[in-house]
Amino acid sequence: MPEVLTNTWARQVMAEHRELRADVARLREFLNAPRPAASRAGAHSWAAELSSRLSALHDKLFRHFRLEEEGGMVEEVSTAHPRAAGEITRIVADHPRMLQETRELVGLTLDYSAARTPIDVPLRRRVTALLDWLEEHERDETDLIQRVEYRDTAAAD
């Protein structure tokens, strides 16, 4: 059934969600490839590459979340669709927490590049958990936007 998005912010948010899904898939691919043990040959390059990818992800998420929070999504969903206000507030509360986790992971990855193994959860598992969280978050947002903002244009065809 053909559908269109009626709002500029919604079109941009959805386009960025598609881009983020592709970024997450590329990061998963990188994480699933063999990783040299800390302090072994290649470990520094691997960790430097991961920290740079995470840092790029942090920058993208920062801008994406700002678009969602200030570009009309939060305001419009909560005013035009009051029943979804609680849901959008809960979703948006994840933004600073995800950014914080991404920054922590950049730090842990740089530790790894200096041949120090993070002592808590293994690095790859924690990055994977962040990617799972991010994907679930964006999926929930996409579902919500589709529920409240898509307009069925089948009748106009």
* Closest among 57, 52, 47, 50 to 21, alpha carbons compared: 57
SS3 of 21-74: the string is HHHHHHHHHHHHCCCCCCCCCCHHHHHHHHHHHHHHHHHHHHHHHHHHHHCCHH
For Fe ion, give the closer residue by CB, 91 or 105: 91
For Fe ion, give the closer residue by CB, 87 or 141: 141
* Nearest residue to Fe ion on Cβ basis: 141
For Fe ion, give the closer residue by CB, 14 or 108: 14
Residue 152 main-chain phi, psi, to 5 deg: -75, 120
> How far apart are CB 73 and Fe ion at their closest, in Å?
8
For Fe ion, give the closer residue by CB, 63 or 124: 63
Per-position x/- string for 78-97, each x denoting binding to Fe ion as judged by CB under 5 A, each - no binding: --------------------
Which residues does 124 contact at the CB level (< 8 Å), separation at least 6?
31, 35
- Give the residue, chosen from 23, 101, 141, 149, that forms a contact with Fe ion under the rule CB under 5 A: 141
Binding residues (CB under 5 A) for Fe ion: these are 138, 141
